[in-house]
Amino acid sequence: MTQELATRYPLVMVPGLLGFVRVVVYPYWFGIVSRLRQGGAKVFPVMVSAVNSTEVCGEQLLQQIERILRETGAAKVNLIGHSQGALTSRYAAAKRPDLVASVTSVAGPNHGSELADYLGRSFPLGTVRRRLLNGSMRLMAGLMRLLETGYRGPKLPIDVDASHQSLTTEGVALFNHRCPQGLPETWGGQGEELVNGVRYYSWSGTLQPGRSDRGRNRLDGTNVTCRLFARTFTREVGHCDGMVGRFSSHLGTVIGDDYPLDHFDIVNQTLGLVGKGADPVRLFTEHAERLKAAGL
């Protein structure tokens, strides 16, 4: 085994909404964890509530971090969060910066998701449509829990409304007031990389006709889903990955915000079927090298 990706601190991979460690034999971080481990990195994909508020998920993540530190003897961890997992990671770092060396946001809705705003308008609280939407989310989360084989901890609570509110522009604005670390001062800018001893990074993608909808993505239904979801965007129309806007994703040092990757492609879903010329796994291996070079 080589050691070119062996970071000083373990890499903790935090999933987003409806996330999992492994469904039957299929991993959330398809091809990513295995490649990082091949390079010598210590990698821990973790589980938090598949559907719940950022704060609830953040407290669960802190428990996981403490467990990993006990098991490895490491002093800190590097958190890598996808989608809502980025907010979950930010919460943990804000509350316990002594335990976190870095936070990396991968397509994180760090200023909220316009898709979440649209769903809030289209499915208002108290309506039949909202109850049906919530029921379908609970059903999906319950089914995935039954099929989960990579997590063996206690049953984690589900709260659909709390999760939705955590992802809206309004909800994330409240969260950002409490956890501002790494946020840009201007829209579309970069934030401070080092805050309270924690380094902050981010990257994200955008839907790019002729690239992200070509290649193996022609066989990937999630790419079609992202293209449909992108129609709900108004502020960042034409500049989103289907679920998160390009500039909304910015946190700390922005490694890139226009990779030809939709919201699922960026973590190599589904089965590594991504757009023409895209290589999401390489983004993670390059970042491990970046963290290692920074002494993290």
Distance CA 233, CA 114 (A): 6
* Nearest alpha-carbon partner for 295 in 8, 100, 24: 8
Question: Cα-flanking dihedrals φ and ψ of residue 99, to 5°?
Answer: -100, -5
Distance CA 87, CA 158 (A): 17
Decide if 83 is catalytic. Answer: yes
Decide if 241 is catalytic. Answer: yes
128-147 and 160-167 helices, crossing angle to 10°: 100
- One-letter identity of residue 277: G
Q: Which residue of the set 241, 257, 262, 265 is catalytic?
A: 241
Distance CA 181, CA 194 (A): 9
Q: Which residue of the set 204, 263, 265, 287 is catalytic?
A: 263
Find the Cα–Cα–Cα–Cα dihedral 278, 280, 286, 292, rounded to 10°: 180
Query: 70 by DSSP, 3-state: which?
Result: helix
Within 8 A by CB and 6+ apart from 2, the residues are: 38, 39, 40
Q: Which residue of the set 49, 53, 83, 166 is catalytic?
A: 83
The whole-angstrom distance between residue 79's C-alpha and the CA centroid of its chain comes to 10
**Enzyme catalytic residues:** 83, 241, 263
